[in-house]
Amino acid sequence: MKILVVYYSMYGHTLKLARAATEGAREIAGAEVILRRVQEFEDVDKEIDKHEHARAMREQQKDIPICTVEDLREADGVLLGSPTRYGNMTAQMKHLIDKTASLWLKGEMEGKPAGVFTSTASTHGGQETTLLTMMVPLLHLGMLVVGVPYSLPEMIHTEARGGTPYGATTITGAKGELEPKSEDLNIARALGRRVAEIAAKLRA
Ligand X SMILES: Cc1cc2nc3c(=O)[nH]c(=O)nc-3n(C[C@H](O)[C@H](O)[C@H](O)COP(=O)(O)O)c2cc1C
Where on the chain is the footprint of ligand X (CB under 6 A)?
9-14, 83-87, 119-122, 125-126, 172, 176
Find the distance separating the first CA and the last CA of the chain, reported in whole Å: 10
In degrees and rounded to multiples of 5, residue 61 shows phi and psi of -100, 0
The whole-angstrom separation of Cα 6 and Cα 15 is 9
Shortest distance in whole angstroms from residue 86 CB to ligand X: 5
The whole-angstrom separation of Cα 18 and Cα 164 is 16
Taking CB positions, which residue lies at the least distance from ligand X? 125
Q: Which is nearer to ligand X, 12 or 163 (CB)?
A: 12
Q: Strand ranges (DSSP E) for the chain?
A: 2-7, 32-37, 77-83, 113-120, 144-145, 168-171
The whole-angstrom separation of Cα 204 and Cα 198 is 10
Shortest distance in whole angstroms from residue 196 CB to ligand X: 22
Shortest distance in whole angstroms from residue 57 CB to ligand X: 7
Shortest distance in whole angstroms from residue 142 CB to ligand X: 28
Shortest distance in whole angstroms from residue 51 CB to ligand X: 12
Q: Which is nearer to ligand X, 86 or 153 (CB)?
A: 86
Q: Which is nearer to ligand X, 36 or 112 (CB)?
A: 36
Q: Which is nearer to ligand X, 125 or 167 (CB)?
A: 125
The whole-angstrom separation of Cα 138 and Cα 143 is 5
Q: Which is nearer to ligand X, 112 or 189 (CB)?
A: 189
